[in-house]
Structure 1
Amino acid sequence: MVKDKHVIEALGKVNVVIENGQITEVGPSTEMKYCPMFHAMHNVEELNEEFIRKNITFRIEDFGMCTPQRIIEMDDAITVGVSEILKTNLEEGNIDCVVGACDGAGTVIMTQPRVVQGVGARVSGLISTTPIPEVIEKLEQKDSIVLNPQTAELNQLEGLKIALKKGYKNIAITVIPSTMIEELRNYPVDDDVNIYIFVAHTTAVEPDIAEMLFENADIVTACASKYVRGYADEHELYYYGEKVPIFCASDEGRRLLDTRLKKINKPLSTNNHPRNKEDSPRKLL
């Protein structure tokens, strides 16, 4: 029997291990101690181990993260995040499916907007996971395809291959920073196929990785990354948000972001630089 174990990256590049619905390990804290988003939403002054445990415990209890009780459908969690952008563009017909990742299932190909939102919202970067049959069953009942139900494998490239075999033409992929992003961008596809790459959880990426992200992705979240923010400012990329910006790495990324902004009657993306950096995460890594 596979041991129930899930590793997520949370709140400033800290790895948290969850086993059988309980936090069993919280990695050492980093120099990133303040997040303006958590300060605004929860009045949190410091991202210490106590708060991290409290926050992850809330996610486990609230929507069943990393447990059989996992809720996989959800309405918008915040105004503009990766899952909200994807949900809106699915609704508008700009994308056909999303290759994402879900705790308890691994890589998943999703076509229903509320499932994309439910799987992606309020969840930190998924480093590894193990199968939870109840979660996999819920996803399959909503027409999602789980890449490997036996292992809950995380492999977005293999997920892309399945999406292509199913005949999808406009495929969005969510992924954390890795060299696989270059493979995703360079994977051979027909001329009528579009691949949109969304990169999240960029805190602490190295300068060469940050540059690679912008060369290959369509949307890159700032998180607490010094080099992602620096590259975006230097090249005056279009973005939305001041505290934790979402950067457009391509014209297509901007189109998808602006589709969400139009939907909720927000100002469209701008390339006014320098941004207001007074209320950024501290310290940037």
Structure 2
Amino acid sequence: MEDRHVIETLGKVKVVIENGEITEVESSEMKYCPMFHAMHKVDELNEEFIRKNINFRIHDFGMCTPDRVVEMDDLVTVGISEILKTNMEKGNIDCVVGVCDGAGTVLMTNPRVVQGVGGRVSGLISTTPIPEVIKNLEETGSVVLYPETAELNQLEGLKLAVEKGYKNIAITVIPSPMIKELREYPVDDDVNVYIFVAHTTGVEPDMVEMLFENADIVTACASKAISDYTDEKKPYYYGLKVPIFCASEKGREFLDTRLEKINKPLTTNDYPRNKDDMPHKLL
């Protein structure tokens, strides 16, 4: 069986992992990020660092391998998976539809699985089934939609979550036209659908308005289009180097719930933002 996993990470770099080994790394237009400089003292996001970072993920928690760890505690103070984990613990969300390397589309109801699946993987582009990963997820109560193919399809995940009777469903997704389909999918009045958009570096400007019209949370990553849009529209946000923007009032509630738990200041709409805190080159 083919073992091939494609992710986009560290900006817009495509990385291919096969049989636990990196087989392809694209170069990145984004050469500097203050977050990675602060965390790892990295001055340039070159191929050497990218390989080192991805190899760390492979060996540390088994990304794209049969050793994949699927349950984790909080990794950073505020990220998409931390926001989701906290709100699931609080009872604000009862199901998360996401994707996992080695499994594809997954319905998750365990907060530590939500953290484990999403915490250290950026944009998953494609993946193939790894039986051990699928088994581990199913043992946590998660549902893998396509165990034979590991297809990525959050819209079908939403449909199944609704069929199973979940009422407060969160979906993690990277920028794509599917986001509008997710928002327009018909649900009963007692069902709420919340959309969390991550990995936005390089998103086209004409897509940004659609993201903010349909999502609840949108991460800034190193997106120039999102930076320009939010400077004009001034949504609530949290964070300096890589802000998390609230595209809806419900998104702000989710973000503030996480901030309250970790005793951080709540979301703000202070503008203009300090550009010195942002990546030197936005895409």
Q: TM-score range, shorter-chain basis?
A: over 0.9
Correspondence 1:56-75 to 2 at 5 A: 56-75=54-73
SS at match of 2:169: strand
Amino acid in the other structure paired with 2:78: V
Alignment of 1:4-83 (within 5 A): 4-27=3-26, 29-83=27-81
Provide the residue aligned with 1:94 in structure 2.
92
3-state secondary structure, aligned to 2:275: coil
* Partner amino acid, structure 2, of 1:107: T
Aligned counterpart in structure 2 of residue 135 of structure 1, from 133, 136, 140: 133
C-alpha separation in 2, matches of 1:162 and 1:234 = 37
**Aligned mates of 1:268, 1:12 — CA distance in 2:** 27
1:1-285 mapped onto 2 (5 Å cutoff) = 1=1, 3-27=2-26, 29-285=27-283
Deviation at 1:282, TM superposition (A): 2.5
For residues 50 and 153 of structure 1, the distance between their equivalents in structure 2, rounded to whole angstroms, comes to 30
Tell whether the 8 Å contact from 1:4 to 1:131 is kept in structure 2 after alignment.
yes
Distance 1:115 1:14 in 2: 26
How far apart are the structure 2 equivalents of 1:208 and 1:172?
Answer: 24
Runs of 4+ in structure 1 deviating by more than 4 angstroms, as ranges, are: none
Contact in 2 for aligned 1:147/1:159 (Cα 8 Å): yes
- Hey, what's the Cα distance between the residues in 2 that align with 1:10 and 1:62? 17
Cα deviation, residue 279, structure 1: 2.2
The one-letter amino acid paired with 1:26 is: V
Question: Matched residues in 2 for 1:253 and 1:32: separation?
Answer: 28
Count of residue pairs the alignment pairs up: 283
Q: Is the 8 A contact 2:28 2:45 kept in 1?
A: no
Task: Using structure 1 for the length normalisation, give the TM-score.
Answer: 0.98
Matched-pair identity in %: 78
* SS at structure 2 position matched to 1:278: helix
Normalised by the size of structure 2, how large is the TM-score? 0.99
Q: Is the 2:58–2:64 Cα contact (8 Å) retained in structure 1? A: yes
How far the C-alpha of 1:61 sits from its partner, in A, is: 0.3
Where structure 2 has 5 or more consecutive residues not aligned to the other structure, the ranges are: none
